[in-house]
Structures are given as C-alpha cells and as structure tokens.
Structure 1
C-alpha cells in the first residue's frame, strides 16, 4: 500500500467534467472505504476490531487498517492529525459510515458485541446504529 503523490489539479481537470457533475446532482455518495481521524489507536481497535468485528490487516505508525473477508482494508483509522482528540463536533466529518454485511445474523452479532461492551445500540429491525468513541455515526445493515 504505497502513498503516492496525486496531482489534484490534473486529476480534477481530467475527471470532473460537466457531465460528471450533472450525473452527481441530487445523488447520495457511496465510498468503497474510509479513513477516519481518531484520537487513540487502542480505543479505535477496541471499537472497530473487538466490537464491530473487523480484522486488523496492517499496523503502521499512527494508523490501523482493518477489513472483513480478507480484503486489504475496508476502513482505516489514524492519529496523524488527531492524536489525543476527543469527540468531534457534530458539524464536522461524515454523516454516517454505513457497513453492510451478508446476513441479519451478522448484524445481530455486531449488536450483541456492542451491548456486551456497554455501547449504545439502536436497532430498528433493519439497521443497527451506534457511535464510535469520536461520535462518528456507524450503521450496520444487510447489504
């Protein structure tokens, strides 16, 4: 997993066409994987690995990469700009991180692990919602 430089101006001038912008208007964005800034890697590991059930795929200085099903990573957390940070302001960051799993049994297993750890869980029968230690909203549902 290399970190290579990206010429943002060239990328945008090549890919951000008027047709591309028109196609996005009024649609909801879907991202294949996310990187979240967190205040503490050990707390992030307890939440994302122990409670949610991801597997650690890589530890790097100030970062933890996790996945399901053997993929290189679906989610990464890092402290590169946020070491020691507490909960984020509700006006900052993603609205919600949606995690899809193959079966309702897996959703139920996530909910059980969250409850075992004393974490708040909302379950409407289709989606289990919770928050990580930095108040990022997490939704787990069958995909």
Structure 2
C-alpha cells in the first residue's frame, strides 16, 4: 500500500450546506434534485436516497450571505447511475426550476443549476471508466463540450426521485489560491492531480476523473464564510488509510481534530474536511 496517496475506494461522503431558509431549501432538494428527507428538525435537514444520507442542510437565519470575495462551494455534484436517471433529473429541473447549463465532459454527462440561495449543483452520470480518454502519463482528460439534451430527455422514465445508487461523486470548490489548494489536498492529504485547465485543478483518489475540483475563475480572495459550504466528508475504505493519513498530517502544519468517527482538518480557505472509514 502506497501510504503517500489516498487509496482506491476513497470517495466523497456527505456535504453540509449552511442555509437561511431551511424549509424552502429542503423542499428544493426534495422536489428538484429528487432526494428524500431522511431526518428533520427546526435547525437541520438530512437528505439522501433510500437510507443513505448525502446532504446535510444546517439552518441558520442569522448567517450572512456569502461575500463575493469568499472562497467556498462552486457546486455539489450528485452522481446518478444511468442516463435514464439523468433524463429524469432533467425533467424535474424543467418542471420545477431552471436549467443553468449542460456539458459533455468526455468522462461524464452533466446538468447544472443553482439552488434558491445560490449554491451550485451538478447532476451527472459517468461514462464507463474504460472509455475515459487519458493522456500519455495516464491522467484523465476532461473537456467541456455541448451536451445533446434531446438524447438525455429521451432516456427519461418519469421517476420523480433520485434512484438507489445516487451519491455525491465530487465536490467543486472556489479557492483563493491553487498553490495552497494543492499543498493541502495533494501534498498533504494525498489526492492526485488528474487534470488542470486555466485557473482550475482537478484531483482524485484511485484514478477517478475527480473527487475534488478547485477553481479561481471568480477571483475569490478571502476564506469561506457565511452561508454556503459548511463541511464535507471523505470516506476511506479501511482503517490503515486513516492511520497513514494521520501520519502524513503529523508532519504537516495542518491542525487536526479527532472526531468520534475519524479526524477533521480545516484547509487553507477555512473549509472543514472530515475523514472517516467506510462502515
């Protein structure tokens, strides 16, 4: 086992978003994204598929609007298991909301939208992994091409809920420094760079096209604050991977917090990343 990088099988777990209007945003993710409400209180909603939680909404009516200079969430990317499921997502978006964009990325087909409080969302499905184009050094090649929405629409089945197998395939961040991002996520945490484009970098574990994207397209300069991304999880496949990560972090400047299920760090933009082992 290479203890310098995260292992095959590492993946994104839950994402948490701080919102002002908890009731409205819960209903949005239920109706438009198709998630089920798995748990609810006056200050928190947990949404997911079947019995798998994917999204935590933290209600805070006093949280200020995210400042336009603040780092934070670019989008949460919900991965569906089939083109039919993507077609159903497109139908829900058109029935209840507004599509913001759509792209063929060579590795995936993706729909884009924004929730009522400005949090970006991607809903996508992967092409088979053996069809992903790769460069000579083995890294995945990602592009942005127009998506044939008619093909996606034709695959729809009328399902109003996200199906079993839906998960969070990746998370995309807006950062204040790509060098600082790579220092934390690549050099310290052990993700591997898969591709770079102007002002953006995409990293993953186990050769996936990307588990985390980071960009500077909107010139964010300050740390994350206010509404928006609160924290996200990285799930590791075995205890040995968590132990190896602890060892790497011990030799870094990162502040590590032990939690009930694993460890937590805060990155260079004050975004909390939680690591725990698959159960």
Segments of 5+ residues of structure 1 without an aligned counterpart are 24-28
**How far 1:94 sits from its partner (Å)?**
1.7
Q: Residue 88 of structure 1 corresponds to which residue in structure 2?
A: 224
Q: Which has the greater radius of gyration? A: 2
Q: Residue 34 of structure 1 corresponds to which residue in structure 2?
A: 171
Segments of 5+ residues of structure 2 without an aligned counterpart are 1-141
1:19-98 equivalent positions in 2, closer than 5 A: 19-20=160-161, 31-83=168-220, 85-89=221-225, 91-98=226-233
Q: Which has the higher strand share?
A: 2
Bigger relative CO (Cα 8 Å, ≥ 6 apart)? 2
The TM-score, its normalising length taken from structure 1, stands at 0.77
**How far 1:18 sits from its partner (Å)?**
10
Picking from 114, 120, 128, the partner of 2:249 is: 114
Q: 3-state SS of the aligned residue for 2:230?
A: coil
Query: How far apart in 1 are the matches of 2:197 and 2:144?
Result: 12
Structure 1 residues 142 and 81, CA, compared in 2 at 3 Å: closer, same or farther?
Answer: same
Runs of 4+ aligned structure 1 residues displaced above 6 Å come to none
Query: How far apart in 1 are the matches of 2:259 and 2:175?
Result: 28
**How far 1:92 sits from its partner (Å)?**
3.0
Q: CA RMSD in A?
A: 2.7
Query: How far apart in 2 are the matches of 1:108 and 1:92?
Result: 33
Q: 3-state SS of the aligned residue for 2:234?
A: strand
Matched, 1:123 2:258: yes
Matched positions, count: 131
Q: Which has the higher helix share?
A: 1
